[in-house]
């Protein structure tokens, strides 16, 4: 507290609160630094990094633009044509003046992608989860949410906003899930889970969860944000690949990862979508996605429905990267997906590894620290794309081997895990 020398009253030092919070982040090695990156069309995964008044070429190995569709000529053409035709913005919320024909077309495309009656587009995948989960559950009297322990923060916030009863089942633990379903057999229930968990790269047992949902009469809500575009014959996600889409009640996805644009959505039966459209504050009171972005998303979805080349190439480069890292002795968590977690297990070491990769080897991989992952499981998260060449893979492995030697010199035994 500060003292006003004139009145002798205590003053609240507001700025000290923010300084204290930030200092705590720095002390815990959790302060996030956003690297200044300049992506250029036609050069992905290469980009330019702006640091200390210098511009250096780097290779991005942690992008969620998984297939490089954000720089695809057809998507850029659709975006620019729509911007010239419709302008930059949506004009308002959809219930006032922002319900563009482009966004209506996008919702039809998404409903078709997931074999659902209807879809609803939001400004981000975070908003679609946060708003979708809370609104759906709130419209069901006495609803109980059963949420996987590893669910994304957007899903957790959706459950919190629901504000009613919830149970957390152990990650991908069918036995625990059934125990909870049996305990609440007479109540309306919704099981909320992901298809691919973005930090560990593991996959949910979708059919088994659907079996339990049918047995105990529960709704299913699946997050496919790290799967749409990349799995299934048409890019509908893991549920598409595993022929489970018709068994799921609500499918949530994003337009900002494999589709390379921006936005989120849910797809379901028409009455569910209509109810969310009519009651969700996070939809009603926010400006709509711009027509240009909607047109770009339509172009990307249509392209990936008919082209499997990007998916095949990505899967090939993912496997090559995994094999090369494993052969080099780099501690890679085993996954069956495109996500490759390289485990470090210490926040300070993880940050140091990321910085050395960037400044010494011109390789960009952001450190993943708490609260994104539990403490002592800090990691580098690698996501190969179809455009990472064999030579880039070789350079990545060599760089990580050098970084591992550097960490061994800088951090005493036992301070990080390997």
SS in 3 state form for 56-94? EEEEECCCCCCCCHHHCHHHHHHHHHHHHHHCCCCCCEC
pLDDT at residue number 415: 47
pLDDT at residue number 13: 83
**Are the C-beta atoms of residues 222 and 330 closer than 8 Å to each other?**
no
d(CA 302, CA 69): 12
Mean pLDDT, the chain, integer: 94
pLDDT at residue number 10: 78
| pLDDT tens-digit map of 63-114 | 999 999 999 999 999 999 999 999 999 999 999 999 999 999 999 999 999 9
**Are the C-beta atoms of residues 299 and 260 closer than 8 Å to each other?**
no
Catalytic residue, candidates 116, 166, 183, 257: 257
Distances (CA, A) of 321 to 173, 315, 386: 29, 10, 12
Q: What is the pLDDT along the chain (418 residues), one digit of tens a residue?
A: 566 666 767 778 888 899 999 999 999 888 888 999 999 999 999 999 998 888 999 999 999 999 999 999 999 999 999 999 999 999 999 999 999 999 999 999 999 999 999 999 999 999 999 999 999 999 999 999 999 999 999 999 999 988 889 999 999 999 999 999 999 999 999 999 999 999 999 999 999 999 999 999 999 999 999 999 999 999 999 999 999 999 999 999 999 999 999 999 999 999 999 999 999 999 999 999 999 999 999 999 999 999 999 999 999 999 999 999 999 999 999 999 999 999 999 999 999 999 999 999 999 999 999 988 999 999 999 999 999 999 999 999 999 999 999 998 777 544 444 3
| pLDDT tens-digit map of 2-36 | 666 667 677 788 888 999 999 999 998 888 889 99
pLDDT at residue number 3: 64
Is pTM beyond 0.95? Reply is no
pLDDT at residue number 28: 87
**What is the secondary structure of 92-111 as a DSSP string?**
SBTTTT---HHHHHHHHHHH
The pair phi, psi for residue 92, each rounded to 5°, is: 145, -170
Mapped onto helix, strand or coil, the DSSP state of residue 169 is strand
Mapped onto helix, strand or coil, the DSSP state of residue 302 is helix
pLDDT at residue number 6: 64
pLDDT at residue number 290: 97
Q: Is there a catalytic annotation at residue 108? A: no
């Amino acid at each position: 507290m500060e003292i006003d020398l004139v009145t002798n009253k205590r003053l609240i030092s507001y700025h000290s609160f923010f300084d204290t919070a930030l200092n705590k982040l720095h002390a815990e090695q959790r302060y996030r630094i956003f690297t200044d990156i300049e992506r250029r069309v036609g050069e992905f995964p290469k980009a330019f990094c702006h640091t200390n008044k210098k511009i250096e070429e780097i290779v991005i190995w942690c992008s969620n633009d998984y297939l490089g569709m954000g720089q695809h000529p057809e998507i850029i053409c659709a975006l620019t044509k729509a911007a010239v035709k419709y302008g930059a913005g949506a004009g308002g919320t959809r219930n006032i003046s922002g319900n563009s024909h482009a966004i209506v077309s996008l919702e039809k495309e998404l409903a078709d992608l997931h074999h659902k009656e209807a879809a609803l587009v939001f400004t981000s995948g975070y908003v679609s989860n946060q708003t979708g989960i809370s609104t759906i559950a709130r419209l069901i009297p006495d609803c109980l949410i059963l949420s996987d322990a590893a669910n994304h923060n957007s899903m957790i916030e959706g459950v919190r906003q629901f504000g009613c009863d919830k149970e957390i089942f152990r990650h991908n633990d069918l036995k625990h899930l059934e125990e909870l379903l049996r305990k609440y057999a007479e109540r309306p229930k919704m099981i909320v889970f992901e298809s691919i968990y973005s930090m560990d790269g593991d996959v949910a047992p979708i059919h088994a969860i659907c079996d339990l949902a049918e047995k105990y009469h529960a709704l299913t809500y699946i997050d496919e944000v790290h799967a749409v575009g990349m799995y299934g014959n048409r890019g509908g996600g893991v549920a598409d690949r595993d022929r489970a889409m018709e068994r799921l009640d609500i499918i949530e996805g994003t337009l900002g990862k494999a589709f390379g644009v921006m936005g989120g959505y849910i797809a379901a039966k028409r009455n569910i979508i209509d109810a969310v459209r009519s009651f969700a504050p996070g939809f009603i009171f926010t400006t709509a996605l711009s027509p240009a972005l909607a047109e770009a998303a339509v172009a990307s979805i249509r392209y990936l429905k008919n082209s499997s080349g990007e998916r095949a190439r990505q899967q090939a480069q993912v496997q090559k990267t995994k094999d090369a890292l494993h052969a080099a002795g780099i501690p890679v968590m085993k996954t069956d997906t495109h996500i490759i977690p390289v485990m470090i297990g210490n926040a300070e070491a993880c940050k140091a590894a990321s910085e050395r990769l960037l400044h010494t080897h011109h390789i960009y991989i952001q450190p993943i620290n708490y609260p994104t992952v539990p403490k002592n499981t800090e990691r580098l998260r690698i996501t190969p794309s179809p455009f990472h060449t064999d030579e880039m893979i070789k350079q990545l492995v060599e760089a990580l081997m050098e970084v591992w030697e550097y960490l061994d010199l800088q951090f005493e035994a036992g301070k990080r895990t390997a």
